[in-house]
A = this chain, B = another copy of it.
Amino acid sequence: MLPLLLLWCFVAVDGGREEFPGVGPLLVTKESRRTVVSTASGEITAVDVRDGYGGAYHLQFITMAPSSLFLPVLLHTDMVFYVQSGSGRVTYIEEDENEETEHIDVVRGDIYRLEKGSIFYVQSHPDPTRDNLRIHAIFNAVDTDNTKELPAAAYSNISDLVGGFEDKVLQMGFGVSEETILAIKWVEKPPSIVPFPHTSKTVSFGALRGIRSLAADDEEVTNKKKTKAFNFFEAKPDGENCYGWSTALSHKDLKTLKGSNFGAFMVMNLSRSSMMGPYWNPKATEIAIVIQGRGMVEAVCIGKPSGETKFKATEGDVVVVPRLHPVTQMSYNDEGFILVGFSSLVGKNRPQFFAGKRSALRTLDREVMATVFNVLTAIVENLLAARVESTIYLRARRVPRNSKGR
């Protein structure tokens, strides 16, 4: 049979958590991240996800202690990141630019994007009393000839680029003595994140109070073009009430996303005892990271066999909701639930809600809907008219403790 569309059921057993059947690709827990780098100055962990429609994504979680340096790398693919905590400076060269470095001072909530082929490095704020700088980044994977067997990388270290050549070639290429090349090449290379004491000469962070103050009192004059990140705490929510708010940002809102393969960035902030949806994304897959609290996610498998899958997600977990799959997120009674994430585009994606005045179902003819559900028209009227708000609302009651799914 020809595979038209891939809509399968994700339910699979995740060893040791019998009460919540694991969902493989829909949930990647913080514990199952793999560690890429771990030093006294910081740590990088990583996760790979697929969206079931041919899309593959790589996520990295970079943590840097104050006064640290993430050493320069050459980006192999587009990267979108946001700052989960702390502050620091991202310095980069984009190949289209006029051969000068640019930098951007980032704080918690900032979103930014770097182009494939760019070189960049990151410095965390030197003040030791500050929070660690934590950056969450997503990279979109590209098709390769033989995806099964080959090693993967989202970027290369500069020292590997240079050090890969023979000594004689480097000597000729750089036009320097053998001693300089030997000095460069034949010492042990540092790890990706190293201590980097603040000196007034190298870095004087602009006042890091917010995103508008970038590089204001900078003594480096090379940064001619003011580049701006976007802070998602400052974004106007799409929907908001006392139970939470959500925001979906597209290319239109975020100039910085323009040209990237990621269509949008979204935040969902649920207060205690609240619920988002149910809804589905008509055109995009959501790849979201729980940045605070914990909650329940229930998704519907719309293929065969159909059925729902339900799981708990806590801080640091990655939740993948494939295109078209109905889903709902719920917070617990004692804790909020904040997810921040990326949408694989394609085109504009507007979540479609089941209930409330923005519900797609509500616009359909009532007699048709009654036929759909094989019930009286009055019941459908009741079902579709009950909610006013589509997006976030106080749940009628807490998630029942004894429900089958847990």
Chain A contact residues, CB within 8 Å of chain B: 1-8, 48-50, 52-54, 56, 58, 69, 71-72, 74, 76-77, 91, 93, 95-96, 99-101, 116-119, 121, 139, 141-148, 150-154, 156-162, 164-166, 168-176, 180, 183-184, 187-190, 194, 196, 199, 201-202, 222, 275, 277-278, 280, 282-283, 298, 300-304, 306-308, 310, 324, 326, 328, 330, 348, 350, 352, 354-355, 358, 360-361, 363-365, 367-369, 371-375, 379-380, 382-384, 386-387, 393, 395-397, 399-400, 403-405
Contacts and interface: CB of A to CB of B under 8 A. Distances in A.
B158 A372 contact: yes
Number of copies: 3
A152 B364 contact: no
Contacts of A301: 164
Contacts of A101: 363-365
B156 A375 contact: no
Instruction: Identify the interface centre among A5, A76, A143, A165: most chain B CB within 10 Å of its CB.
Output: A5
A153 B101 CA distance: 47
27 contacts: A2-B48, A2-B50, A3-B152, A4-B48, A5-B77, A5-B142, A53-B144, A54-B144, A54-B145, A93-B360, A95-B283, A95-B360, A96-B348, A99-B363, A101-B365, A159-B372, A161-B300, A164-B301, A164-B302, A164-B307, A165-B326, A165-B328, A166-B308, A169-B298, A169-B328, A172-B396, A180-B383
A285 to B, nearest CB: 12
A12 to B, nearest CB: 14
A166 B298 contact: yes
Given A172-B275, A374-B189, A161 B283 contact: no
B5 A152 contact: yes
Q: Determine chain A's interface SS by DSSP, over half rule.
A: loop
B8 A151 contact: yes
A180 B379 contact: yes
